[in-house]
């Protein structure tokens, strides 16, 4: 049997809107305060895409263009575009097709992947499988979410959490032993709807009633999700370390989904990692859903060394959660 190829990340790009929504701004909008938000979540500000004619596809395309520039290749060379998002521009066509058009990736095919905050992690595993199987050589994996489009800015329990942004990576075959080595993915149907957007799908299509009841916004039972997320992210991070015989000393960096600093700290503690090995930028961007992990990789890319062991971990709506073990190949 032919040996499976391994894939590695060969470029990282990002897009963040200019507009900053600070905790002090939110104090003027809902009954909250800066200290509560910082203590409970670690967030100080988040970015908001204000242009009404721009959304997730635009941010994804800008991040993708940076990837192409960095790698010095043209868009025509891309084989596949996978966009992880819960805020697609339209229910259909796929955001990936809009991105293809924006960047001119005429030879690619693409599709969206919906796994909420685990979206980028699941998309990276999917893209990697396409390379391992020999189906593709250059795969753009993008996480992009305009969370401000589904956040209710009258609900203090959710509006403080989310921000807008996009991050993208290029996956290519690896021939130097670095790249994506292992991944674990889980899901568990959240039948109690602890985290969801009630309307806008086929069960509750948009109507005057759904709009009046503010059902096109995120609804979350924060405490329930917090408990599940803390358990899920820590468990799966340990699971991937044990499966690959990694000790805390072997792990150079934890790249966690940025939902709440307390969830990240609990995961790092369970893994036995000191805080210097944990990427945290939730203070600047909040929870950008599918974009948090690639935005971390972007912010830290100059500090990563070839061969560094990275553990990527996420938990999100669905529920969905998982981890990836990769050796940094840039
Ligand atoms: N400002 C001030 N007080 C607030 C605010 C606010 N913004 N929001 C809630 N409170 C109040 C509550 O009303 C409550 O008051 P009460 O005790 O009088 O009822 C009190 O603060 C405590 O509320 P909790 O919900 O218990 O606060 P908690 O410490 O759990 O923090 C939070 C809330 C930050 C939402 C936390 O539960 C959390 O981070 N949950 C997980 C979020 C997450 O990981 N989501 C998954 C990813 S998202 C995705 O997949 C799209």
Identify the DSSP state of 304.
-
Q: Which residues have C-beta within 8 Å of that of residue 193, sequence separation ≥ 6? A: 219
- pLDDT exceeds cutoff 90 at 95: yes
Instruction: Mark whether 169 and 218 lie in a shared domain.
Output: no
Atom of ligand 1 nearest to the CA of 158: 35
Q: Confidence band (pLDDT; 50, 70, 90) for 9?
A: very high
Query: How many domains would you assign to the chain?
Result: 2
299 and 195, same domain (yes or no): yes
Query: How do residues 103-156 score in pLDDT, each as one tens digit?
Result: 999 999 999 999 999 999 999 999 999 999 999 999 999 999 999 999 999 999
Segments forming the whole domain that contains residue 307: 181-327
pLDDT score of 191 = 84
State the chain's mean pLDDT as an integer: 97
pLDDT at position 285 is 98
Do residues 20 and 166 share a domain? yes
Is residue 1 one of the residues assigned to a domain?
no
With contact defined as beta carbons under 8 Å apart, do 291 and 144 qualify?
yes
Inform me whether the pLDDT recorded for 212 exceeds 60: yes
pLDDT in tens, 184-198: 999 999 888 999 999
pLDDT (mean) for 250-262: 98
Identify the pLDDT of residue 309: 98
Q: Assess whether 28 and 134 both reside in one domain.
A: yes
User: Which pLDDT score, from 0 to 100, does residue 99 have?
Assistant: 98
Question: Looking at the structure, do residues 206 and 165 belong to the same domain, yes or no?
Answer: no
Residue 4's pLDDT is: 66
What atom in ligand 1 is closest to the CA of residue 32?
Answer: 1
Arithmetic mean of pLDDT, 201-230: 97
pLDDT recorded at residue 2? 56
Q: Are residues 161 and 189 in the same domain?
A: no
Residues 319, 200: one domain? yes
Q: Do 169 and 91 share a structural domain?
A: yes
Has 269 been annotated as catalytic?
no
Average pLDDT on 278-293 reads 98
Same domain, 146 and 221: no
pLDDT band per the 50, 70, 90 thresholds, residue 5: confident
Nearest to 142 by CA among 234, 214, 80: 80
For a pocket test of ligand 1, which of 156, 161, 222 has the largest count of ligand atoms closer than 8 A to its C-beta?
A: 222
**pLDDT of residue 1 exceeding 70:** no
User: Looking at the structure, do residues 192 and 168 belong to the same domain, yes or no?
Assistant: no
Predicted local distance difference test score (pLDDT) of residue 227: 97
Burial of residue 103 (number of CB atoms within 10 Å: 0-12, 13-18, 19+): buried
Cβ contacts of 79 within 8 Å, gap of 6 or more: 107, 108, 109, 130, 135, 136, 137, 138, 139
211 and 113: one domain?
Answer: no
Choosing from 14, 257, 260, 296, the catalytic residue is 257
d(CA 200, CA 113): 17
């Amino acid at each position: 049997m032919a040996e499976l190829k391994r894939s590695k990340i060969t470029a990282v790009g990002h897009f963040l809107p200019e507009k900053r929504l600070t905790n002090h701004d939110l104090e003027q909008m809902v009954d909250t305060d800066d200290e509560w938000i910082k203590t409970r979540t670690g967030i100080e500000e988040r970015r908001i895409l204000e242009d009404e004619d721009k959304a997730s596809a635009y941010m994804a395309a800008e991040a993708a263009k940076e990837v192409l520039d960095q790698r010095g290749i043209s868009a025509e060379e891309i084989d596949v575009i996978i966009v992880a998002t819960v805020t697609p521009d339209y229910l259909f066509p796929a955001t990936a097709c809009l991105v293809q058009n924006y960047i001119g990736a005429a030879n690619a095919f693409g599709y969206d992947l919906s796994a909420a905050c685990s979206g980028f992690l699941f998309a990276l595993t999917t893209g990697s499988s396409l390379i391992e199987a020999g189906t593709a050589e250059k795969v753009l994996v993008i996480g992009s979410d305009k969370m401000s489009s589904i956040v209710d800015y009258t609900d203090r329990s959710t509006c403080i959490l989310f921000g807008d942004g996009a991050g993208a990576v290029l996956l290519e075959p690896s021939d130097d032993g670095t790249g994506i080595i292992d991944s674990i993915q889980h899901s568990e149907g959240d039948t109690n709807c602890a985290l969801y957007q009630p309307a806008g799908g086929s069960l509750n299509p948009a109507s005057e009633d759904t709009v009046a009841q503010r059902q096109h916004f995120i609804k979350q039972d924060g405490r329930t999700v917090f408990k599940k997320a803390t358990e899920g992210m820590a468990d799966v991070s340990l699971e991937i370390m044990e499966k690959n015989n990694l000790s805390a000393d072997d792990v150079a960096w934890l790249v966690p989904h940025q939902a709440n600093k307390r969830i990240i700290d609990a995961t790092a503690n369970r893994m036995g990692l000191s805080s210097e090995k944990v990427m945290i930028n939730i203070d600047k961007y909040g929870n950008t859903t599918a974009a948090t992990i690639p935005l971390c990789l972007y912010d830290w890319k100059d500090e990563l060394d070839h061969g560094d062991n990275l553990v990527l971990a996420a938990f999100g709506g669905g529920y969905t959660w998982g981890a990836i073990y990769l050796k940094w190949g840039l």
